[in-house]
Chains A and B, each alone.
Chain A
Amino acid sequence: MAGTLQFSPDDRYNAFITTCREAPFGDGALAGTAVAVKDNISTAGIRTTCASRILESYVPPYDAHVVGLLREKGAAIVGKTNMDEFGMGTTTETSAFGPTRNPADPSRVPGGSSGGSAAAVAAGLVPMALGTDTGGSIRCPAAFCGIVGLKPTYGRVSRYGLVAYANSLEQIGPMARTVEDVSRLMSVIARYDPHDSTMLDRPYDHQPSAEIKGLRVGIPEEYFGEGVDPRVAGTVRDAIGVLEELGAETVPVSIPGMRHALAAYYVICTSEASSNLARFDGVRYGPAVDTRKSWHEAYQDLRLELFGTEVRRRIMLGTFALSAGYAGRYYAKAQVARRNIKEDFERAFCDADVIAGPTMPTVAFRLGEKTDPLSMYLSDILTVPANLAGIPAISVPCGRVDGLPVGLQLMGRQFEDERVVDAAFAYEQEVRA
C-alpha cells in the first residue's frame, strides 16, 4: 500500500527547516507514518543543513543508514527539523534558521539540540521523529517539551550519515509522544550497519513490558544536589515513588566522577568538533569560494561569515584543548575522567538495574534567557554522564512545575536499552491509567 503523504503542517513553532509537501512511502512496519528527521542526518535529495548557513544548500548524495531503514519500513520522511547549529546548544536558539519555540509554552525554548524534532512531536505535527544526542540533545528537549526520547547505547544505532559533531559521544535516537512509539521507532533504526565500525550487531526487537516487579532503581545523590531545582527534584522523586508502588525497589548509588563529567564532556566534544567541522571549507560543498583570495584567507573569512558564534567558540575551545602544550592537561585528563565515570556507572549497576534522576535540572528556559555560554553548558550536567559512559538513557514526562513539563531520566547498563524502555513504559502506563 505504497503511496504519497501530503504534508503541509502549521509550523507555528518553527520546528522544521525543510518540509516535504509530498512524502512518498512504502510498505512495512511504519507504512505511511510521518517521521521527521533532525537536520543533521543525511537524506539523499533533501537538503541537510545542520541549521548552519555553511550547509544552507547542501544536498547529500546519499541516505544515512537510519534513513534507509525508515524508507525500507515504509515511513514517509516529511521534513528536516530545526536544531542548534551542528547540535551545539541546549535551546535550539543557535540555529541559523531562527529558534524553535516550545509548544508547551511558546515563550520558552524547546530545549536542544533536537528542539525541532521535540516540538514537531509535541505539537502533534508528526507522531515520531529522529533526534541525535551528544550530551543530552534528545533527552533535554524531550523533557522540556513533555515527550519521550531515548538515547540508545553507543554502538546500537548506526551513525553513518549523521553529520559528526562529537563522534565518540553521539547517537541517533527515537522521539515520540509515547514510550511504545519510541520503542517502535527504535526497533526500526537499531539494525547493524557495517559502515559504522563503532557499531555492535545488537538489533533491538522489543515489545515494551510494564512488569518491573523487583527492578532495582539506583538513586544517585549527585542527581538531586546543588543546581537542581528542588521542585524538579521533588517531582522526579514522586515519579520514582510510582515505580516503587509498581514493585521496584530503590537503592542509593553514587557516581563520584560526576564532578568531572561536565568539564570532561566539553573538552571531548569540542575537541572532536574542532576536527569534524574543519572540513567545511566551501570547496566541496557550500557556496563558491572566492578564488581571488588565498586559501587560508578565503577559508577563515568563510568560516567567520557562515558559522555562528557558538560554533566558532566551540571550535576554538576544542582547538585549544588539543593544542601542543595543553592536550595533556585537557584532552588527556578528560579521557581519564571519562573512564572513571564509566567505571562509576559499572559499579553502580552492580547494585541497581536502572538509575533514575531528573533529565534536566530545571524546566525549560525562556527564549534568550541563557546568554552566557558557561551557564548554558552547566544545564547539561545530568545528561552528559550517559554519553560519557555510552549507556542508554530515556527521558519520560513525569509531571509539571510551573505548568512546564519535567522529565524523568532512566539510565541502564550498556545494551540494556530494553530495560530502560520497560521502566519508562511501566511508569507511563501507570500515570496514564
Chain B
Amino acid sequence: MKTIVGLEIHVQLATRTKLFCGCSTDYRDDEPNTHCCPVCLGLPGALPRLNRKAVEYGLKVAKALDMRVPEESEFARKNYFYPDLPKAYQITQYDKPLAVEGTVEIEDDEGHEKIVRITRVHLEEDPGRLVHVAGASKYSLVDYNRSGIPLLEIVTEPDMRSPQEARRFLNKLRTILEYLGVFDGDREGSLRVDANISLEGSERVEVKNISSYKGVEKALTFEVTRQKNLLRRGQTVTRETRHFMEGRGITTSARGKEEEHDYRYFPEPDLRPLRVADRVAEIDLPELPVARKNRFMAQYGISLNHARTLTGDPKLADFFEAVAGVDPVLAATWVADTLLGELNYRDMSIAAVPADRIAELLDLLKSETITDKAGVQVLREMLDACAAGKPCEPPAVIVEREGLARATGGEFTPIVQAVIAANPQAVEDYRTGKKGALNFLVGQVMKETRGRADPRELGRIVSECLDTGGV
C-alpha cells in the first residue's frame, strides 16, 4: 500500500524586524508583550508596511528552488477569530503567491535521487503565542511578541512516499534555507510543519503543528500505522485534521469548528501588489549544498559520505574549510566522524567550537605527535571546556599537562618486555599460531602506556620481540 505525503512548511525568516512593522524579531527569552507596536498589536488605525528584506529572502528561496515568480503577487486577508490573531485576520498570500512550481532533489528510500515538487511559496505573518492556564478557571494568556514575525510557507506536492523521505526532504530544505542565510534553524519554533498523509486509495489526513524535524517522522509513522490498522480492521480512514502531541508521539482528532472554516479571503486593501519577477535575475545565490558537496570531493579529495555530512549544515561546512588546510582527508574524518559525534553527545553546536584550536589538534595528529586515541582525549577536554563556557586551552598545552605525547619505540621497549615476561601463556599461544594472542599483548602494553603509543606500531614491536625471542 503506497504512502503519500505532502508537506506545508512554515519557516520563520531571519529578518531583523517583523513582516509589517519595525519591531525587533529577537523576542525569545524576553518579557511578554515587549516587542509590540500598534501594527503587530492590531490596534485600530494601524497599517502594515511590508519588509523589503522578507520579500528578498522569499525570492532568494524561490530562485534556489528553481521556481517561477509570477508577474504579479498580492497579499490577502485570511479571516478567522482566535485570541492569538490580533487583527482577527492573518495577512497572507492566497491566489497570487510569491512563487510557484519548484523542485528539491532528495534521496529516496533506496538511495536513488528523486525530485519533490514544490507547489508554491508565500509570505505571511506569524500569530502571537497562547499560554493555556489550567485549574479551576481555565483561560489563556496571550503574548504578541511573536505576532508579525515573517513566515515563508513552502508547500510541496504529495511526492514523498514514506515518513523517512519526508524527514530527508525537510533536512534538505533546512540545509538550503540555512545556506541562503534566510533562516536560523537553531531558534526554537523557527520551523513548523503541517503534513498531509494518505494511503493510496484512502482519504487524506492533515496533521497540524509539528514543530520539530524528528516530530515529522514520528507523527507520520504514527499515522501510517494508525491508518493501516484502520484498514486492516475493515474500517475507513476519515478525512480530517489531527493534531500531533509531541510529548506522547501520537496524533489526535481536532473535531469541530476548526474543520468548517470559511476564511473569506480577499485582497489586503492596505498593501499594494508586488511586481518583483524581474528582480529574480539580480539575485546572487550562494553556493548551494549540492554544488558544495561536489566541490568538496573534487577540491579536497574526500569521500562522498564525508562531503555529504560536512555540507549538510553550512556552519559545519565552513568549519571544515577553516581546518582543512594541512590535511583535508584527515580533517574530514575528524570533523565529520569524531567531532560531530562528540558534539551530538553533548548537544552542542559547531558554532561553540574554536576552529583554530581544532586546526592545532589536527597538526598534532598529522605530525604524529599524538595518537588518534590521545587526540580524542584532547578533543573531549577541549569540548568540555567550551561547553562549560571556559576558555579552550591549546591542545599542545593539554598534551603537555596530561603527558599524552606519543611514546617512541625505545621508550616502551622495557614495557613490552615486562608484558611478555608477565604473560607466558599468551606468548605460548602466539607461538602456536593463535593470532588473538598478539592483540591481547598489544592491549596490555596500550593499557600501560595510556594510549600514547600507536597500536599498529606497537603491534610491530611486540611481534618483533616475540619473533626474535629478544627478551
Instruction: Indicate yes or no for A touching B, C-beta below 8 A.
Output: yes
Binding site for B on A (CB under 8 A): 41-42, 48, 50, 55, 58, 60-62, 64, 159-164, 167-168, 194-198, 271-272, 274-275, 278-279, 281, 283-285, 291-292, 295-296, 299, 319, 322-324, 327, 331
| A275 near B89: Cβ-Cβ < 8 Å | yes
Which A-chain residue is minimally distant from B272 (CB atoms)?
A197
Decide if B88 is an interface residue (CB 8 Å cutoff). Answer: yes
Stretch at the interface among B79-87, B233-241, B435-443: B79-87
Partner of A284, one of B42, B45, B271: B42
What is the predominant secondary structure among interface residues of chain A facing chain B?
loop
What is the interface residue range for chain B against chain A? 20 to 34
| B43 near A61: Cβ-Cβ < 8 Å | yes
| B88 near A197: Cβ-Cβ < 8 Å | no
| A60 near B44: Cβ-Cβ < 8 Å | yes
| Those of B29-68 within 8 Å (CB) of chain A | 38, 41-50
Partner of B45, one of A42, A283, A319, A324: A42
Contacts of B264 in A (CB 8 A): 274-275, 319, 322-324, 327
Distance from B118 Cβ to chain A, minimum over Cβ atoms (Å): 27
Partner of B270, one of A42, A198, A271, A323: A198
Which A-chain residue is minimally distant from B261 (CB atoms)?
A324
Contacts of A64 in B (CB 8 A): 45
| Those of B66-109 within 8 Å (CB) of chain A | 77, 79, 81-83, 86-89
Distance from A309 Cβ to chain B, minimum over Cβ atoms (Å): 21
| B266 near A195: Cβ-Cβ < 8 Å | no
Contacts of B50 in A (CB 8 A): 197
| A168 near B269: Cβ-Cβ < 8 Å | yes
Binding site for A on B (CB under 8 A): 38, 41-50, 77, 79, 81-83, 86-89, 137, 139-140, 142, 257, 262, 264-266, 269-272
In the bound complex, CA of A163 to CA of B139 (Å): 29
Contacts of A61 in B (CB 8 A): 38, 43
In the complex, given contacts A60-B45, A291-B137, A324-B264, what are 17 additional A-B residue pairs having Cβ atoms less than 8 angstroms apart?
A: A42-B43, A42-B45, A48-B45, A60-B43, A160-B45, A164-B44, A164-B270, A167-B269, A168-B269, A197-B270, A198-B271, A275-B77, A278-B89, A279-B86, A281-B83, A285-B43, A322-B79
| A161 near B266: Cβ-Cβ < 8 Å | no
In the bound complex, CA of A62 to CA of B46 (Å): 9
Contacts of B45 in A (CB 8 A): 41-42, 48, 60, 64, 159-164
Contacts of A168 in B (CB 8 A): 269
| B44 near A163: Cβ-Cβ < 8 Å | yes
The 5 tightest CB contacts between A and B, nearest first, are A278-B88, A168-B269, A322-B264, A167-B269, A291-B139
Distance from A40 Cβ to chain B, minimum over Cβ atoms (Å): 8
Contacts of A299 in B (CB 8 A): 81
Contacts of A274 in B (CB 8 A): 79, 264
Partner of A271, one of B42, B140, B266: B266
| B42 near A279: Cβ-Cβ < 8 Å | yes
In the bound complex, CA of A195 to CA of B43 (Å): 14
Q: Given A281-B81, A295-B83, A299-B81: A196 and B47 within 8 A (CB)?
A: yes
Contacts of A296 in B (CB 8 A): 81, 257
Which A-chain residue is minimally distant from B142 (CB atoms)?
A283
In the bound complex, CA of A128 to CA of B29 (Å): 49
Which A-chain residue is minimally distant from B44 (CB atoms)?
A163
Contacts of B269 in A (CB 8 A): 167-168, 198, 272
Contacts of A162 in B (CB 8 A): 45
Contacts of B262 in A (CB 8 A): 323-324
Contacts of A319 in B (CB 8 A): 264
| A284 near B79: Cβ-Cβ < 8 Å | no
A-B pairs under 8 A by CB, number: 105
Contacts of A164 in B (CB 8 A): 44-45, 270
In the bound complex, CA of A327 to CA of B266 (Å): 9
Which A-chain residue is minimally distant from B20 (CB atoms)?
A197
Contacts of A272 in B (CB 8 A): 266, 269
Which B-chain residue is minimally distant from A163 (CB atoms)?
B44
Partner of A197, one of B38, B82, B271: B271
Partner of A62, one of B38, B82, B142: B38
In the bound complex, CA of A189 to CA of B442 (Å): 91
Q: Given A163-B44, A164-B44: A279 and B87 within 8 A (CB)?
A: yes
| B79 near A197: Cβ-Cβ < 8 Å | no
Contacts of B89 in A (CB 8 A): 275, 278
Distance from A56 Cβ to chain B, minimum over Cβ atoms (Å): 13
| B79 near A278: Cβ-Cβ < 8 Å | yes
Distance from B390 Cβ to chain A, minimum over Cβ atoms (Å): 46
Partner of A278, one of B47, B81, B83, B265: B81
| A197 near B48: Cβ-Cβ < 8 Å | yes
| A275 near B272: Cβ-Cβ < 8 Å | no
In the bound complex, CA of A281 to CA of B80 (Å): 12
Contacts of A279 in B (CB 8 A): 42, 44, 86-88
In the bound complex, CA of A41 to CA of B86 (Å): 20
| B42 near A197: Cβ-Cβ < 8 Å | no
Contacts of B48 in A (CB 8 A): 197
| A194 near B49: Cβ-Cβ < 8 Å | yes
Which A-chain residue is minimally distant from B270 (CB atoms)?
A167
In the bound complex, CA of A328 to CA of B142 (Å): 36
| A284 near B43: Cβ-Cβ < 8 Å | yes
| A292 near B137: Cβ-Cβ < 8 Å | yes
In the bound complex, CA of A42 to CA of B142 (Å): 24
Q: Given A198-B270, A278-B89, A322-B266: A283 and B83 within 8 A (CB)?
A: yes
Contacts of A196 in B (CB 8 A): 47, 270
Distance from B185 Cβ to chain A, minimum over Cβ atoms (Å): 31
Contacts of B88 in A (CB 8 A): 275, 278-279, 281
Which A-chain residue is minimally distant from B263 (CB atoms)?
A324
B44, B82, B137, B266, most chain A CB atoms within 10 A = B44
Partner of A195, one of B49, B140, B257: B49
Contacts of B82 in A (CB 8 A): 295
Distance from B67 Cβ to chain A, minimum over Cβ atoms (Å): 25
Which B-chain residue is minimally distant from A277 (CB atoms)?
B88
In the bound complex, CA of A162 to CA of B44 (Å): 7
Distance from B341 Cβ to chain A, minimum over Cβ atoms (Å): 48
In the bound complex, CA of A197 to CA of B81 (Å): 25
Partner of A275, one of B46, B137, B142, B266: B266
Partner of B79, one of A160, A195, A198, A275: A275
Which B-chain residue is minimally distant from A169 (CB atoms)?
B269
Contacts of A275 in B (CB 8 A): 77, 79, 88-89, 264, 266
In the bound complex, CA of A48 to CA of B265 (Å): 29
In the bound complex, CA of A159 to CA of B137 (Å): 41
Distance from B375 Cβ to chain A, minimum over Cβ atoms (Å): 58
Contacts of A197 in B (CB 8 A): 47-50, 270-272
In the bound complex, CA of A195 to CA of B257 (Å): 36
Contacts of A291 in B (CB 8 A): 137, 139
Contacts of B49 in A (CB 8 A): 194-195, 197
Distance from B38 Cβ to chain A, minimum over Cβ atoms (Å): 5
In the bound complex, CA of A322 to CA of B81 (Å): 15
In the bound complex, CA of A272 to CA of B77 (Å): 10
| A48 near B79: Cβ-Cβ < 8 Å | no
- Give me 10 A-to-B residue pairs in the complex whose CB atoms sit less than 8 angstroms apart, sorted by A's number: A42-B44, A61-B38, A61-B43, A195-B49, A196-B47, A196-B270, A197-B50, A198-B271, A283-B142, A295-B140
In the bound complex, CA of A322 to CA of B43 (Å): 23
Distance from A175 Cβ to chain B, minimum over Cβ atoms (Å): 19
Distance from A337 Cβ to chain B, minimum over Cβ atoms (Å): 15
Contacts of B77 in A (CB 8 A): 275
In the bound complex, CA of A48 to CA of B46 (Å): 13
A195, A271, A278, A322, most chain B CB atoms within 10 A = A278
In the bound complex, CA of A157 to CA of B426 (Å): 97
A64, A194, A195, most chain B CB atoms within 10 A = A195
